[in-house]
Structure 1
Amino acid sequence: MDLVFRSLAVSLLCIFGIFVLPFNVLEDKAFAEVEIGVDVGNKAAPFKLLTVDGKEIELDSFAKEKVALLVFGATWCPACRHEIPLLNEYNVELKDDGLNVLGIDIQESAKKVKSLIKKKKINYPMVLDSKADVARLYKVVGIPLNVVLNKSGVIVYRDNSPPDKKLLKKLLNE
């Protein structure tokens, strides 16, 4: 009886392997051809996050036909705080030309972020990545992380230092 049961189990596994596994391989291959990701040259992976005031910002609509500068950071990070004046400047000077700056705070309360916004007079939207889901999605290892998307939503810059104004102006004029 035990031998019959083992033979039946092996047969079922073989049938499963023949019919199910090839479909999974084809599905993975089709998915791999989609150029969505988080590296330079990929179309930016989509996400939705809430602002400190509870308004939802979805990347696809925020960056639609705009150049977007996504800045991952935290209130306790000295380098993140140091680049805020430059980001404010970019937002003032280049917003009318089509630049959208978005601060993405990782794993902090709305209260802390609101305090920083007030203290540093941040003039661009800040969203809360409370569970660090988007930070993990974008493979954030060190902060600040600056990610620039062109008007097509493709990542053209990814670095811990902010992009220079020449790059942003060039992208805005394309």
Structure 2
Amino acid sequence: MTRPLKLAVQLVALGCVAGLLALLVWRLTHQQHAPKVGSAAPDFTLPRLAGSGTMSLRSLRGRPVVLNFWASWCDPCKTEAPALERAWARYRGRGVVFVGVDYHDVTDDARRFVAAHRLTFPMVQDGSGDVTGRYGITQVPETYILDRSGRIVSHLAGPITAASFADAFRRGLAKALGS
């Protein structure tokens, strides 16, 4: 290898290492942490996925809320979708509101996902990732359960289809309902 070629290879390698270090530093300094159980859920207003208008979390105060962060490209989200729809059908008569928060997705893909899985609970879209950032979402699915006052009573990272998550989901809803 000629001397100029060796120097070029070394400079490229050094540039890659510097870039990775810069990315790591940026990630560590800009990482937002998930709100803790017992704290107030961060408020938001997001566009509805199904059509016009927006939905704000504040407008749901007085009702228990299940916030499910998902994406059409997420395989575990596909697996958990039927369980969420069944839970929505079971609990909506008790005043529980489910809200799906679509995360970093193409709108048409998200709408196809909702239609394919026959999801009927309200859906909003966080195209910028601002809300998911405030909730500390690093991977989907993640679910927050809020009580009537907007406080977080449960946080589940991962699909709610596994038996342990299903039990935790039911316990969180029981807390949110005050039973």
- Confirm or deny a common fold (TM above 0.5): yes
Q: Which structure has the greater CA radius of gyration?
A: 1
Cross-structure match for 1:54: 52
Matched, 1:171 2:176: yes
SS in 1 for 2:148: coil
Q: C-alpha separation between the residues in 1 aligned to 2:44 and 2:175?
A: 26
Aligned to 1:97: 94
Does the 8 A contact of 1:75 with 1:116 survive in 2? yes
Look up the SS of the partner of 2:125 in the other structure.
strand
Task: Name the counterpart of 1:107.
Answer: 104
Secondary structure at the counterpart of residue 155 of structure 2: strand
In the TM superposition, residue 173 of structure 1 has moved relative to its aligned partner by 4.0
Matches within 5 A, 1:1-174: 38-52=35-49, 53-62=51-60, 64-161=61-158, 162=160, 163-174=168-179
> What TM-score comes out, normalization by structure 2 length?
0.72
Q: Distance in 2 between matches of 1:141 and 1:109?
A: 18
Distance 1:164 1:106 in 2: 21
Q: CA RMSD in A?
A: 1.5
> What's the secondary structure of 2:139's corresponding residue?
coil
* Partners of 2:118 and 2:103 in 1: CA distance: 19
Cα pair 2:147 2:175 within 8 Å, conserved:
no
Three-state SS of the structure 2 residue aligned to 1:96 is helix
Q: What is the Cα deviation at residue 150 of structure 1?
A: 0.7
Number of positions where the alignment pairs a residue of Structure 1 with one of Structure 2: 137
**How many percent of aligned residue pairs carry the same amino acid?**
26
Over 2 Å off, 4+ runs: 161-167
For residue 55 of structure 2, give the secondary structure of its aligned residue in structure 1: strand
Using structure 1 for the length normalisation, give the TM-score: 0.73
Q: What code does the residue aligned with 2:78 have?
A: R
Q: Secondary structure at the match of 2:84?
A: helix
Shift of 1:165: 2.4
Partners of 2:95 and 2:174 in 1: CA distance: 10
Contact between 1:90 and 1:165, CA under 8 Å: does it hold in 2? Answer: no
C-alpha distance in 1 between matches for 2:154 and 2:175: 13
**Contact 2:47/2:55, CA 8 A, preserved across alignment:** yes
- 1:70 maps to a residue whose letter is L
After superposition, give the CA deviation of every residue in 1:107-160 in whole Å (9 maximum; x if it has no partner): 212211111111110011111100101011111112111111011110111121
For 1:134, what is the secondary structure of its paired residue? Answer: helix
Amino acid at match of 1:54: S
1:26-83 Cα distance to aligned partner (Å, 9 max, x none): xxxxxxxxxxx82211111110001121220000112x11111101111010111111
Q: Unmatched 5+ residue regions in structure 2?
A: 1-33, 161-167
